[in-house]
Structure 1
Amino acid sequence: MYFLNGERIYFQPQNPFTSLTDAFDNCLRQIVNYMGAGKVFKLNVFAETSSEKEYSHLAIQIREKVKKQFADNVLFSLIAQPPFSCNIIVEACFFNPLQWKSEVLGDTDSEAILFKKDGTRSLIGKVQSNAQESCGFDAKEAFQKLKYIFDNAGLPVNSIVRQWNYIENILGSDNGRQRYQQFNNVRAGFYAGHFNESGFPAATGIGTNYGGIIIEFIAITSEELISKPVDNPLQISAHHYSTNVLAVKLCPEKETPKFERARNVKLFNKKQLYISGTAAIVGEKTEGINDPVRQTEITIENIKKLYSNNIESSTIEDSGKAQFGHARVYIKNHEDFPAIKKTYEKYFGNSPAVYLHADICRHDLLVEIEGRVILV
Structure 2
Amino acid sequence: MLSYCTNVHPAEDLDGIIGQLDTYATPVRESLAVDVLGVGLWLAADVAAGLAADAAARARLAGELKARGLAVQTLNAFPYGGFHDEVVKHAVYVPDWTDPRRARYTRDCLTVLADLLHSDAAYGSISTLPLGWREPWGPAADDRAVAAFDEVTAYARTLSGRIGRPLRLAVEPEPGCVLDTAADAVAWLAGRVDAEHVGLCLDTCHLAVSFADPTATVRRIHDAGLDVVKVQASAALHVDRPLEAEARAALAEFVEPRYLHQVRELAPTGEVLAADDLDRALEELPGRGPWRVHFHVPLHAQPRPPLVSTTDVLTEAVAAVAAGQRGGMPHVEVETYTWTVLPTWRGSDLATGIADELRWARTEVTV
Q: How high is the TM-score relative to the length of structure 1?
A: 0.38
Q: Which has the higher strand share?
A: 1
Higher relative contact order structure (alpha carbons within 8 Å, sequence separation ≥ 6)? 2
Q: How high is the TM-score relative to the length of structure 2?
A: 0.39
Q: Which has the higher helix share?
A: 2
